[in-house]
Amino acid sequence: EAVAFHAVTTVANFIDSKEEYNQGHSTRVAKYAQAIAQELGWSAQEARNIHYVALLHDIGKIGVPIDVLNKKTALTTAEQELIKKHTVIGAEILKDIKTVENASEGAMYHHEKYDGSGYPYGLEGQDIPLVARIISIADAIDAMTSDRKYRVNLSDEEACDEIRKYSGIQFDPYISSVVIRMFEEGIFEKLRG
């Protein structure tokens, strides 16, 4: 398993290296997703599996031009559509992976939103696979608490307020409630070490 972990981590680091502001993104999302799964009562094996799924969630960015990923100004509609394709590209890349359960679903659905306004299919609520609902909120936590090209990071308190605000809209309300408690207990801060 150690070899598989290092191989998946290497792929995740390669994906993240395409974007100037995304160094370590997939690794942090994986840590957060695993911690959330543990708080939800998942077994150690299930939590370890979602760690792998989260490491690979952005693999489809391999198919997005680097100049689009690193563009400093606002994206055109066409460029936004190119970036959105990373979910479908990622699912296609991962569709035959059997050793990491739900790898394809994590890539495909991590930008779906609980109210149905996400992409690529506009799934809503419980129709979004649970693994993707967890990765979606873990992904948002990292996006909010890391410096990005378009803004400085939010504090954990501010990020927690955003999760609270978008619970039931962008995020699964039950998972949101667990994540809010995790913020209040300082768990994400500890994970960033």
Q: Which of the residues are catalytic?
A: 61
Q: How far is CA 149 from the centre of its chain?
A: 18
Closest by alpha carbon to 8, among 64, 54, 63, 69? Answer: 54
Q: How far apart are CA 155 and CA 152, in angstroms?
A: 10
DSSP, res 65: -
- Residue 176 gets the label, from left (phi > 0), alpha (psi -120 to 50) or beta, of alpha
CA distances 133 to 3, 4, 37, 143, Å, are 28, 24, 11, 15
